[in-house]
Amino acid sequence: MTSCRHLSTLVVVDSTVVDYESLVNSTKPGTAVLVLDAERDGIEQISQALAEADSLESLHILSHGSAGVLQLGSTSLNWQTLRRYAAQLQAWAKPLAGAEILLYGCKVAAGAIGQWFVRQLKSLTGAEIAASTNLTGSSVLGGDWNLEFTTGEIRTPLVFSASAMASYPHVLPVLVSDTFRNGDVTDKVWVFGTDAPAPGRPPSELPFLTARNTTIAPTGGLPGNPSRQLDPEGEGALRLTSALPDQATFVLYNNPVPSVQGLTITFELYAYGGTTNPERADGVSFFLLDGTASPTDAGAFGGSLGYAQKEDIAPGLVGGYLGIGFDEFGNFSSATDAPGQAPVRNGGQPQGRVPDSIGIRGSQASNYLFLGGTDSLPFGIDAPTATTREEATRTIKIDLTPAGRLTVQIDGNNDGDFLDPFESDPRLSNIDVAQLTGTPKPETIKFGFASGTGDFNNIHEIRNLVLGTFNNAPLVSPFTEVLLPGTTILLDGTTSADPSDGFFAVDPDVADGDFIASFQILTLPDPAQGTLFVGDPLTGGVPVVAGTTLTPEQIQTIYFQSTAGFTGASFTYTAIDSRGQAAELPATVTLNLRDITNQPPNTNPSQLEIPRDDVRLVPGLSGTDPDGDNTIQFFQILTVPPASEGQLFLGNPTQGGRPIQAGQRLTPAEITQVYFQSSSTFRGSSFTYAAIDDQGEIDPTPATVSLIRVGTGDVFCPPGRNFTGNNRDNKIDGTPDFDRLRGLGGNDRIRGFDCNDILQGGRGNDTLAGGADRDVIKGQQNNDVARGNAGDDVIDLGLGNDRGFGGKGNDIVDGRRGNDRIQGKGGNDTLRGGRGRDTLNGGPNNDFVDGQQGNDEVRGAKGDDFMNGGLGNDRMRGSRRADTAYGRRGDDVIWGGPGVDVLFGNKGNDRLSGNTQNDRLNGGPGNDTLTGGNGSDRIRTGVGRDQINYRSAEHGVDRIVDFDVANDVINLRRIFNKPEYTNPDRFRAYVRLRDSDNGAILRVDSNGDAAGGFLRLAILQGVQIADINPVTNFIV
């Protein structure tokens, strides 16, 4: 070990971690590294190293782990052994004073027991600790390098380099782990025994733990040596046979483990100390059996190694599925026990006995069929000359994949890998067990060891058993939604400032054929806050109960319906893979109350002049938050230029920039690194983007960025006229080519003709006409008239009281200052009024009309228009089509028109009228007046004292989603003022209320004093009759 005296960082590595060198070698120079001796107590080794330290700032421990377990050398430090090591761990406090401990083991802090273990470790050592709650390691296998659980603030960075962690290809969860070094086993689920003695043969000794100081085994445990304790605590092993003749023993882990996830097993085998020459015998078998079987006896011994049968003498292991023989004498791979004798086993090597070999036999159902084996291994199974177990170490690795394919490897030279000759024999690799035996893999499996001797003998021992699974648990994602009281939303992860995919799970083993089979809702939101539904509750959705299991398709239809008193809630869910494995940690869905006073952000328009075949940074991309906290979280690119015009990039594409896609979100830092690369055929284009604030609110009036072609390299539009007038009244005509025309001080008439011209009016009252191509027209000062004519034009009217006409293309017209009149004409236009009292008319197509500041008159005309009133007291009128209108600030009047409209009053005391179709009205903050009209409308009143007007009992059935009984009122006076209504007690005579699952149903009499005629007028969602005051909530 590198000395840690005067060094700030100590890295402790358990040597069983695969390929730990690739991580350790990436640490910074001067880092002290301690690789634990697998044969020694790991706590003692760490304590010795810490005793030499005097200035440590951090201790990093890289080891295998599980919930509340660290594997350290020969020691399993876990919630059961903490007390045993308490004194040593407390001694760490002095060298670790002010230091931090980072535990890299898989799932050490998982669950309640894991977190309790970490907190106890902190209590003993005094150090703040970070540990993992999930798999640590390769992301491909579902791992990561995040230490998710901490006992306090952790300032220490991870000690390994980012590149080393990214390329590390391993991770391995553990099901069973026991070193057999101590006087007791970790899990007390073991069964043990011996073979029945043959006539004239003394009985076998029981298998025993060499470090146990008593002979009697506890329930589920293993016994000690009948004569005396052979090894001190922490230095022992599981002895299957001593060097005695005619021994036959077995141990069985009598607790089934699931096989569907595959199994990977490692253990150390020691065969040494035999007293017979020239042969030693017999060997050890590791066996797997059906988890439903509970045998009380092993199979036949001798060459059958306690697994297979001996015909007419002894049966094989009941329930046996696989037997793997590590065979010193060689008969496990032979059908007979001696040349020329009758077969006693089913199949074998053609040459018969194969000493120092590995053989594999199949299931009981296949009559323990021989499946394959090696030739004699040059390094042998046993070590005939060894006098200690360490000299005889053979490490075994057995993999049974989820598909049932078997691989067996042996480390014959104890160098920590299986790469040397004969250690990974191809005949023991990827064996399809089910195909060869006709026996499918059992759903659950038990395992064990058996060993025997005969006329020849050996000591046979086992240490450091680890049984893990190939399967990695699914990973589920938390997410957040924000909503208002009394509303219903689909939980798809799209309402928060940082949207997600909603319910989402990843199966790390998808490459092996595993997949997410189902989801489960584990806990529910507080019923006082709302209810989960499968399907929209407004159309027959079913309430969710805790424990509900859903398909991946059903989980995407989960809705939440908040109560009128909603303040926030949460619930948890998990995912289950096709092998029955659930996520180690559930994910939490957080339901937050939306800040209803929040104002949407503003996004700034911009423009870029660029020639063909060029790359330039797009300037001026930014936004502001009118709430004053300036918390723009993201910018979303809503549309991108056509591919024929060019490509947007995040970062300079000549220096590795990445293409930007429509819908992509960028941070405020990233938005300043947007580049545009124009194509060789670039004629001019645009894209749109919008700011998103910390409440998840997106700017409803996205900004347009104009991409204007300039330059002289176009053979179709060569340079034309570049002319600046004088201070007189000029008439300036361009050419069919690319012109730059400027008027200066007089009242000028400027006309551009063909190609993409740039026209500037100057200080007078100018008239500018753009011509047939994509023009840039700037009115500048005074009262100008600007016409884009054909082409997708960009018109900036400037400072005066101007008139702007977009023309036939998809135009952008900015009024800027002054009281402007702007007409979109043909095309899908973007019209922005600016600061004055403007009048804007969208034209026949789908327009974006933005009044901005001032008291504006905004009309959508004939298309599906998007209208934004802006900051003043605006009057907005839709069209015959489906319009969207935002009043923004000010006391606005919004009339949707005959189409299916969406109207937002936002701040101010607004008046909203939907007209004839099924409209959506949103009042927003302020005292609003809302009239749905003749359709079945969805009305949200918002904050303030709002009034909902009805003019007819046959308006349709409206849904009022947030009726506030303390402030809002429904006005029915226009209905009851008609002559057919004569009863003075109008509410009692003509109004009916009934409770339902969705809220109070409002019905009114459509026939006046005539009999019958009650029609449903509205549903007050989340409101009950008991909440309603007829005096304060109704005007009749």
Listed in sequence order, the residues at least 6 apart from 751 whose beta carbon sits closer than 8 Å to its beta carbon are 732, 733, 734, 768, 769, 771
pLDDT value at position 990?
92
Distance CA 11, CA 417 (A): 22
Burial class (CB in 10 A: 0-12, 13-18, 19+), 848: buried
The CA dihedral of 732, 736, 738, 739, to the nearest 10 degrees, is: 0
pLDDT value at position 1022?
86
Tokens of 996: 């339902």
Distance CA 117, CA 109 (A): 7
Tokens of 517: 């089979």
Tokens of 886: 């935002």
Helix, strand and coil in the chain, % to nearest 5: 10, 35, 55
Nearest to 25 by CA among 56, 73, 62: 62
Distance CA 876, CA 905 (A): 11
Q: What separation in angstroms does the CA of 653 have from each of 222, 621, 675, 681, 809? A: 68, 18, 8, 18, 31
Alpha helical stretches, state H, 247-361 = none
Q: Is residue 619 a contact partner of residue 636, using CB atoms and an 8 Å limit?
A: no
pLDDT value at position 336?
93
Torsion sign over Cα 1024, 1028, 1034, 1036: positive
* H or E stretch at 990: helix 986-990
Distance CA 946, CA 503 (A): 36
Amino acid at 421: P
Other C-beta atoms closer than 10 Å to the C-beta of 20 total 20
Distance CA 325, CA 420 (A): 21
Question: Quick one: how far is CA 259 from the chain centroid?
Answer: 27
pLDDT value at position 596?
66
pLDDT value at position 554?
94
Domains recognised in the chain with CATH numbers: 9-167 (3.40.50), 176-183+233-344+353-469 (2.60.120.200), 475-593 (2.60.40), 602-709 (2.60.40), 864-1035 (2.150.10.10)
Model-level pTM?
0.45
pLDDT value at position 180?
92
Distance CA 506, CA 858 (A): 49
* H or E stretch at 669: helix 668-671
* H or E stretch at 111: helix 111-125
Nearest to 239 by CA among 453, 395, 463: 463
Torsion sign over Cα 913, 918, 919, 921: positive
Q: Is residue 92 a contact partner of residue 50, using CB atoms and an 8 Å limit?
A: yes
Residues of the chain with pLDDT under 50: 1-3, 172, 712-715
Pairing outcome for strands 174-178 and 459-468 = antiparallel
